Structure 1
Amino acid sequence: MSSHLPPHYTPALLHRYLSHFNRDPSNLNVIDHDAVGYATVEERAARAKKYNEVAYDYYDLVSPLYEQGWGQRFHYTPIFPGKSIADSMTAYEHEFARIARLKPGMKVVDLGAWHVKRGTQLTKEAGLEGKVTLIEGNFLRLPFEDESFDAAYSVESLCYAPEPAEVYREIKRVLKPGAPFTFHDFAMTEKFDENKTEHAKIRNWVEFGNGIVKMPWVPDMRRGVLSAGFELLAEEDMAGRSKAAPWYYGPAGDVSWAWRVPGWDDFFRVVKMSPFFLFIANSIYRVLILFGFAPPETLTLMDTMLYCCRSVAIGGKMGIFTPMYVFTCRKPIRDKKGDGSVEQKHGQKKDELKMA
């Protein structure tokens, strides 16, 4: 779209994504803000039927921008005392691995990736070709045999399925008895009220800004885990661990927090998300567009990315949204009794497995 964007970027990528949300398919150069904020039940149901297509088009559009702006890691994280956003990500990844009970020698399935081609390239660059294999698949029809894995985990991925409970059941199928399943996901919290117009609008903004067709709600996720037959060992909104600064200060472009958290790289990233910087960037691009040096879709792309960041920040401030709700589960251990029926052994109780 312009020399400042990744190579091979074209307006077609944006048009393809907006076609899932705009009510007028003949005008895909701008966002239909009314359709995004006040999507009808029918419109959201129609998108849910093509959730794979919506998610693919979204990540085709935004992943190069994420990598360019934030690096190869762009999951949300609690901000730890004395650590930058980048260092907090690293600390949280280690903590998540501990919570997920991942150990050397395990055969583990990580559910969710941008593209197999890109992931394979990064795996090769990291020298992990012999340890990591990427396979394109579908959450609802995993291309693996029953009881194939020692553990499963997911980070900000399962929320892209329209019915998470169906995904949980499929994951349970491919796990060995007693295997852990842990996932960190986007969710509307228990404070979310579908009947409040403002709540529903923010939910819709998060969906558009992140390529999600049906944002999961924590109570539904909990019921889904249990109905799939998992033992629910623990659950926690990891946003509550963000003590040094609110987790959303980055996407909110809150420079006042950026001064207090170490890491100049993070500081400049947050500054680039600040309202003042975006006003300047918007003004510059308007001039470039006026003189033909950038296509009109550039501003629309900037607005789309603004939905991505500001919607989660607003939802986080309101307490109705979190990008890091974690469930720790386990497939029951099964012992056959003499009559051929199955007995479930639950091991430790849920209240004994609270996350540290």
Structure 2
Amino acid sequence: MAFLFPQEVLNFRRSFGGTIARSNLEQAVTFYEDLHSVNGGTELKRMENYTSMVNTYYDLATAFYEYGWGQSFHMSTRVYNESFKESIKRHEHYLALRLGLKPGMKVLDVGCGIGGPLREIAAFSGATVIGINNNQHQINRGIALNKQYGMSDRCQFIKGDFMKIPVPDNSFDAAYNIEACCHAPDLVALYKEIYRVLKPGQCVAGYDWCMTNEYDRNNEYHNKVKEEIELGNGLPTVRTTTEYIDALKAAGFRVLMEEDVAVRPNLQCPWYDSVKPKVLSLEGFRRTSLGRFIGRQMLKVLEFSGIAPKGSQEVYNVLERSGDGLYEGGRLGIFTPMLFYIAEKPHHEDI
């Protein structure tokens, strides 16, 4: 945790583990790791335990994400002369523009994290954005950040499972997800639920995590990379691009656009440069190889001294493995975190 200032140490200590009691943190880490293939777990077990798995993951990982990445937990490519933070904002603005968000609209953020994109999209578009999240720790943090940035009037949260969204039919003027549907145990069921809460004629857009057509199920190394991504990101599995589009159609949506925006031409930096282990960057020092090394050493000291709870190092190790898996997936072209799509719920008369 390179350049960790005293206030950051205090914030990390308060935040790490979320709603998990400090005495149960090591047990929670073991539960999470044992669900994954690299530790002998199975996809079926992850599907059966997806609510507990995802909640445990974000209780354990959120403090690290916010520390190293910021408030928006997603990837982005970078264009010429663009900073990392600017690229994150552009990624969110592009989605808002393609959805046509504007003042007066009521928009659903599916799997909203601590609300970084939610606040940015609300500020950019003027719409009211409501995020659904099943993790109380992240909601608490998001509410505090909404107040801090003066966004509580147009940014709200619903505590709930996005597989059973607790709102009436036809409630929203638009919906989106940013790298969240990958946590769902059943894509068709999830998209049917989003379909239900959207008004007729309105659209959902998203960026999703997928294995590309370059992925070979019979390639042992490809499968190892896929398993590392699943372990490090709380995923039951990583589906293919085709599975996402087929699921949208099966749920009743009309797919208007699909594109892997990770492979657009004229990009200065691919998305996976942000997790590249051997890179020198002052702006993103905490994500560099040297920054990660210093972070590991400091975390050892904090855990040994009792400032950081036991289990902190192991979570950090899991997230490092995740970064390495993501980098390899991007470098090989077998994985993308940004299959972008727009899909419309048809008007009643068109059904």
2:31 counterpart of 1:19 = yes
Contact 2:78 2:84 in 1 (8 A): yes
State yes or no: 1:321 paired with 2:344.
Answer: no
Matched, 1:7 2:13: yes
1:308 maps to amino acid = S
Which residue number in structure 2 is paired with residue 194 of structure 1?
A: 217
Letter in 2 for 1:13: L
Match of 2:169? 146
The one of 119, 139, 148 equivalent to 2:142 is: 119
Alpha-carbon distance in 2 for matches of 1:65, 1:93: 22
Within the alignment, does 1:46 sit opposite 2:64 as a pair? no
How many angstroms does 1:297 deviate by?
Answer: 3.9
2:283 maps to 1:265: yes
1:78·1:240 contact (CA, 8 Å) conserved in 2? Answer: no
Summarize the alignment of residues 235-254 of structure 1 with structure 2, pairs less than 5 Å apart. 235-241=258-264, 243-254=267-278
1:96/1:254 Cα in 2 relative to 1: closer, same or farther (>3 Å)? farther
| CA deviation map 1:300-338 (0-9, x unaligned) | 233112022111111111111111111110101122xxx
CA contact (8 A) 1:14 1:61 kept: no
| TM-score, with structure 2 as normaliser | 0.81
The secondary structure found in structure 1 opposite 2:199 is coil
Q: Which of 250, 253, 265 is equivalent to 1:227?
A: 250
* Residue identity (%): 33
Check the 8 A contact 2:37/2:43 in 1, yes or no.
no
Q: What are the residue-to-residue correspondences of 1:22-101 with 2, within 5 Å?
A: 22=34, 36-37=37-38, 39=40, 43-101=42-100
Match among 300, 318, 322 for residue 308 of structure 1 = 322
Looking at structure 1, the residues matched to 159 and 291 of structure 2 have their Cα atoms a distance apart, in angstroms, of 39
Find the partner of 2:227 among 201, 204, 213.
204
Q: 1:39, 1:204 within 8 Å by CA — same for their partners in 2?
A: no
C-alpha offsets along residues 157-184 of structure 1, whole Å, 9 cap, x if unaligned?
1110111111001100111111010011
**Match runs of 1:151-166 below 5 Å:** 151-166=174-189
Separation in structure 1 between the aligned mates of residue 336 and residue 241 of structure 2, nearest angstrom: 10
Q: Which moved more, 1:61-70 or 1:9-18?
A: 9-18
Q: Note the alpha carbon deviations across 1:109-164, whole angstroms, 9 max, x for none.
A: 11113322222221122212222221111122111111111111111111101111
CA 134–287 in structure 1, closer or farther in 2 if over 3 Å, else same: closer
* CA shift digits 1:287-306 (9 cap, x unpaired): 88789987774442331120
Inter-CA distance 334–298: structure 2 relative to 1 (3 Å threshold): closer
308-317 or 116-125, which deviates more:
116-125
Distance 1:106 1:53, change over 3 A: same
Range with bigger deviation, 308-317 or 111-120: 111-120
For the Cα contact (< 8 Å) 2:207–2:340, is it kept in 1?
yes
* Helix, strand or coil at the partner of 1:47: helix
Q: CA deviation at 1:52?
A: 1.1
Secondary structure of 1:78's counterpart equals: coil
- Give the letter aligned to residue 173 of structure 1: R
CA distance in 2, matches of 1:194, 1:112: 28
Larger Rg: 1
Alignment partner of 2:342: what SS?
A: strand
For residue 285 of structure 1, report the CA deviation from its aligned partner. 6.0
Which ranges of structure 2 fall in alignment gaps of 5 or more residues? 17-21, 114-137
2:122 maps to what in 1?
none
CA distance in 1, matches of 2:233, 2:295: 22
Task: Check the 8 A contact 1:153/1:183 in 2, yes or no.
Answer: yes
Report Cα offsets for 1:193-229 as digits up to 9, x if no partner.
Answer: 2232222221111011001112222111111011111
Deviates more, 1:287-296 or 1:126-135: 287-296
Corresponding residue number in structure 2 for 1:31: none
Query: Which region of structure 1 is more displaced relative to structure 2, 123-132 or 226-235?
Result: 123-132
What is the RMSD computed on CA atoms of the aligned residues? 2.7
Alignment partners' CA distance in 1, 2:107 and 2:85 = 25
Q: Distance in 2 between matches of 1:12 and 1:332?
A: 48
State the aligned residue count.
314
In terms of fraction of residues, the more helix-rich structure is 2
C-alpha distance in 1 between matches for 2:70 and 2:323:
16
Conserved? CA contact 1:151–1:179, under 8 Å: yes
Distance 1:166 1:245, change over 3 A: same
Give the secondary structure class of the aligned counterpart of 2:259.
strand
**Is this contact kept in 2: 1:81–1:244, CA < 8 A?**
yes
- Indicate the SS of the match to 1:255: coil
Letter in 1 for 2:283: D
